[in-house]
Amino acid sequence: MFKLKNILFSAALFLLVISAYAGRSNETLSDTTSQLQVFQRTLKLMGSRFDLTVVAENQAKGDEYMDLAIAEITRIERLISSWDPNSQTSMINKNAGVSPVKVDRELFNLIERAIKISKLTQGAFDISYASMDRIWKFDGSVMEMPSEEAIKQSVAKVGYQNILLDPENGTVFLKKEGMKIGFGAIGKGYAADMAKALLLKHGVTSGIINASGDLNAWGTQPDGKDWMVAIVNPLNKNKVFSWLPVRDQAVVTSGNYEKFIILNGERYTHIIDPRTGYPSKGVRSATIFTKNAELADALATSIFVMGVETGVDFVNQLKGVECIIVDDDNKIITSENIALKGIETQSK
């Protein structure tokens, strides 16, 4: 089980968005002893900012590796996008209540793992939350509180138990008409894992795939030092509070400060409690540390729904998973194996 005991956090802070390895994006850092260099590229993929970092012998190799990662992330986007009407995911949604849809084994397996996480989190995480996006839109179009009736009707379509998988035929069937699945809470993590796996296969010894604060890092910097991940103030993203070393690890943050709506002076975040149909409350940000970004992504979202107490107790029961949660009063709560020095936290 990994430990984060010795990490030094310096400032008294409001956490957190994680951004990998500095805002040094256009620089190339070289190391004379090993010849290896760091190459970085920032671009928009899956509707989000991606920062790619790879270690390579030269610019040409670095470019080749980054192109591979980009192609892989683009491929995944096509598979899981709910916006692309031709994606397999859209086909599943279109055929809700009508017929099973045959999909690639990769998508089938992803859905199967998502259902496992739903079971693990007792329904806090649920890819079938997506029918709620007819009620809760975060594009500025929702001006008043949706009616209780509308929420009730919409939440009736939510429920991972009604996602039926047929392993023999490789089909997915959403039992209820109007049901929908979406990968907003797991897709970026999955893409980061897959891009990393592909680069490893191509012999890339070290790098970071950072999907807007959902990142997976492997190897070390050319000089043998660990990669450092910056913890920044969500109110001022240029301000780095602290650096944290990561080695072969995913770090994923979900926050309520980017996608939300204000109704009657209250903030409603984009993470919905699938059991009530209302946006979750009480958590400002949740950061998960574990081996893979897909699981970390799903768990960070789940913590919002579970709330602080249940969320941290839940993480404490999982081997190899740690968390830092910031609640609505800016209190920082950590799982058992995280010690933050110099700031007031509660460990449970």
In angstroms, the Cα distances linking 296 to 50, 66, 249, 264, 321 are 17, 23, 10, 33, 8
Task: Determine if 129 is a binding residue for ligand ADP (CB under 6 A).
Answer: yes
Task: Determine if 234 is a binding residue for ligand ADP (CB under 6 A).
Answer: no
In angstroms, the Cα distances linking 66 to 24, 271, 292, 300 are 17, 31, 20, 27
Contact positions with ligand ADP (CB under 6 A) in 17-56? none
The Cα 235–Cα 224 span in angstroms is 33
The Cα 125–Cα 107 span in angstroms is 18
Beta carbon nearer to ligand ADP, 56 or 209: 209
Nearest Cα neighbor of 186 from 67, 24, 302 is 302
Q: Which one of residues 159, 184, 207, 234 is an interface residue with ligand ADP (CB under 6 A)?
A: 184
Contact positions with Mg ion (CB under 5 A) in 182-201? 185
Q: What is the DSSP string of 130-152?
A: GGGGGT---SS---SPPPHHHHH
Task: Determine if 305 is a binding residue for ligand ADP (CB under 6 A).
Answer: yes
Which residues are known binding-site members?
A: 185, 297, 301
Beta carbon nearer to ligand ADP, 125 or 227: 125
CB of 192 to Mg ion, least distance (A): 11
Q: Which one of residues 18, 38, 246, 300 is an interface residue with ligand ADP (CB under 6 A)?
A: 300
Task: Determine if 256 is a binding residue for Mg ion (CB under 5 A).
Answer: no
CB of 136 to ligand ADP, least distance (A): 9
What is the number of residues in the chain?
A: 348
Task: Determine if 301 is a binding residue for ligand ADP (CB under 6 A).
Answer: yes
CB of 214 to ligand ADP, least distance (A): 6
In the sheet that holds 227-233, the strands lie side by side as 17-20, 227-233, 236-246
Task: Determine if 297 is a binding residue for Mg ion (CB under 5 A).
Answer: yes
Task: Determine if 274 is a binding residue for ligand ADP (CB under 6 A).
Answer: yes
The Cα 194–Cα 201 span in angstroms is 11
Amino acid at position 10, single letter: S
Using DSSP, state whether 262 is helix, strand or coil. Answer: strand
Q: Which one of residues 103, 179, 208, 271 is an interface residue with ligand ADP (CB under 6 A)?
A: 271
Task: Determine if 288 is a binding residue for ligand ADP (CB under 6 A).
Answer: no
The Cα 176–Cα 167 span in angstroms is 20
Beta carbon nearer to ligand ADP, 250 or 305: 305
Task: Determine if 301 is a binding residue for Mg ion (CB under 5 A).
Answer: yes
Stretch near ligand ADP under the rule CB under 6 A, chosen from 27-35, 49-57, 95-103, 180-188: 180-188
Q: 54-67 in b/e burial notation, b at 16+ Cβ within 10 A?
A: bbbeeeebbeebbe
CB 36 within 8 A of CB 65: no
CB-based contacts of 90, cutoff 8 Å, min separation 6: 81, 82, 84
The two structure tokens encoding residue 338? 């995280």
Beta carbon nearer to Mg ion, 55 or 298: 298
Q: Which residues are bridge partners to 30 per DSSP?
A: 37
Task: Determine if 255 is a binding residue for ligand ADP (CB under 6 A).
Answer: yes
Beta carbon nearer to ligand ADP, 48 or 220: 48
Query: Binds 270, which of Mg ion, ligand ADP, none (CB < 5 to 8 A, cut-off by type)?
Result: ligand ADP
Stretch near ligand ADP under the rule CB under 6 A, chosen from 21-29, 69-77, 268-276, 307-315: 268-276
What number of chain residues touch Mg ion (CB under 5 A)?
4
CB of 30 to ligand ADP, least distance (A): 33
Q: List phi, psi (to 5°) of 146.
A: -60, 150
CB of 32 to ligand ADP, least distance (A): 38
